[in-house]
């Protein structure tokens, strides 16, 4: 009897501690529910982080978590679920769009209607996406291995290594436009104090020289962690170290992307797959009908894991691994699954432990 009382008391205490621990973890990791302020979708609990909009009934100027849109549901920007695209009937949009499996085909690829084409300027002619005079707004509007000239808004062949460029969108995948020479250079070739683009992860030589692009646009030695004062969405201390970072509850700066890449194999693998299958980045990469989904899914997912990095500060905010849970990264999903996206939320393993302990306590009583 005494043993039973001891076990019951112990398990009850453990149950209370477990609840406290869950609350603490969620609070510390800055996980945000629908309607809360956010930094990126990584910090939202199974929802998208979007800018303020009257359509969301949001009055703050900060980003806010909103639920993912399912197939055929209304949307106001890129908030649709996995494999879907927020398609508007009129551009520029004057009302809400609809989440659809659309905008997945390059110029020359198959289509059934113009909305299947990644390019906003393309038409679907005889079952293929056809360019309208090579007009474009961004690279997504161009055919494979072409870029959009930001002056003429006409698609032109991608620049290769050592060719003149204006910005990195001109250069073929695996290279960037050097700010100091205005020529395309291979990834990870800049050395210490070279000028770099603060929004790029691939310019400074992080592979062998342990460099990253600092907020003053210079390649600097990577520092493992920067201390900051309190968790804040301003994060001015952290952003003086690197762009797109946040001060966490552990009083350390956390970058939203991997700024210390040590292995470029995933980039090379994706580049080779692009060349072999004539794939490239499009508006709806994760559509089950896209070139990348059909031919380069594993390479693409390894690339995503690389650029996201290993910082797990926001990892508990998703109901699963945010990359491996993507349909394109999970071979158990079929095309039909993507067309019926429901984004159901799974319980965390820690919640299962709590329920199990609770049941034991009930049985003992």
Which pLDDT tens digit goes with each residue over 112-157? 999 999 999 999 999 999 999 999 999 999 999 999 999 999 999 9
Average pLDDT over residues 311-318: 58
Question: What pTM, to 2 d.p., does this model score?
Answer: 0.74
Give the tens place of pLDDT for each residue, 21-56. 333 333 345 688 888 888 777 778 888 888 755 454
* Mean pLDDT of all residues belonging to the chain: 78
Return the pLDDT at 90.
Answer: 66
pLDDT score, position 295: 96
Q: Mean pLDDT across the stretch 208-220?
A: 92
24 falls within a domain = no
Within-domain flag for 219: yes
Residue 275 confidence class, pLDDT cut points 50, 70, 90? very high
Instruction: Give pLDDT tens digits for 54-98.
Output: 454 445 567 888 888 999 998 877 789 989 999 987 665 557 789
196 is a domain residue: yes
Residue 204 resides in a domain: yes
> Is 199 a member of any domain?
yes
Q: Is residue 176 part of a domain?
A: no
State mean pLDDT over 293-309: 92
Total domains, the chain: 1
Does 259 fall in a domain? yes
Q: Which domain holds residue 248?
A: 188-263
SS (H, E, C) the chain: CHHHHHHHHHHHHHHHHHHHHHHHHHHHCCCECCCCECCCHHHECCEEEECCCHHHCCCCCCCEEEECECCCCEECCCCECCCCEEECCCCCCCCCEEEECCCCECCCCECCCHHHECCCCCEEECCEEECCCCECCCHHHCCCCEEECCCCCEEEECECCCCECCCHHHECCCEEECCCCCEEEECCCECCCCECCCCCCCCECCCCCCEEECCCCEEEECCCCCECCCCECCCHHHHCCCCCEEECCCCEEEECCCCCCCCCHHHHHHHHHHHHHCCCCCCCCCCCCCHHHHHCHHHHHHHHHHHHCCCCCCHHHCCCCCCCCCHHHCCCCCHHHHCCCCCCCCCCHHHHHHHHHHHHHHHHC
- Does residue 145 lie in a domain region? no
């Amino acid at each position: 009897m005494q043993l039973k009382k001891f076990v019951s008391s112990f398990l009850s205490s453990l149950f209370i501690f477990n609840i406290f621990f869950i609350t603490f973890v969620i609070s510390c990791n800055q996980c945000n529910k629908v309607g809360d302020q956010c930094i990126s979708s990584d910090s939202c609990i199974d929802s998208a982080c979007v800018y303020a909009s009257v359509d969301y009934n949001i009055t703050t100027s900060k980003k806010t978590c909103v639920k993912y849109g399912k197939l055929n549901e209304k949307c106001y920007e890129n908030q649709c679920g996995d494999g879907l695209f927020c398609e508007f009937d009129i551009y520029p949009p004057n009302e809400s769009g609809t989440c659809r499996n659309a905008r997945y085909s390059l110029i020359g690829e198959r289509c059934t209607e113009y909305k299947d084409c990644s390019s906003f300027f393309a038409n679907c002619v005889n079952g293929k996406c056809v360019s309208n005079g090579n007009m474009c707004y961004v690279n997504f509007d161009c055919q494979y291995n072409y870029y959009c000239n930001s002056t003429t808004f006409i698609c032109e062949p991608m620049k290769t290594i050592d060719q003149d460029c204006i910005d990195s969108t001109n250069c073929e995948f695996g290279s960037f436009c050097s700010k100091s020479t205005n020529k395309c250079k291979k990834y990870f070739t800049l050395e210490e104090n070279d000028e770099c683009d603060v929004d790029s992860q691939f310019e400074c030589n992080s592979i062998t020289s342990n460099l990253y692009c600092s907020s003053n646009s210079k390649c600097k030695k990577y520092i493992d962690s920067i201390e900051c004062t309190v968790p804040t969405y301003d994060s001015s201390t952290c952003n003086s170290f690197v762009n797109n970072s946040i001060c966490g509850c552990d009083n350390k700066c956390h970058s939203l992307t991997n700024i210390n890449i040590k292995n470029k194999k995933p980039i090379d693998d994706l580049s080779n797959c692009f060349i072999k299958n004539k794939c490239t980045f499009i508006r709806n990469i994760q559509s089950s009908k896209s070139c990348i989904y059909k031919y380069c899914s594993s390479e693409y997912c390894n690339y995503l894991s690389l650029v996201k990095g290993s910082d797990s500060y926001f990892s508990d905010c998703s109901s699963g691994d945010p990359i491996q849970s993507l349909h394109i990264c999970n071979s158990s999903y079929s095309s039909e699954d993507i067309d019926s996206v429901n984004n159901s939320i799974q319980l965390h393993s820690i919640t299962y432990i709590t329920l199990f302990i609770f049941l034991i306590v009930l049985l003992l009583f």
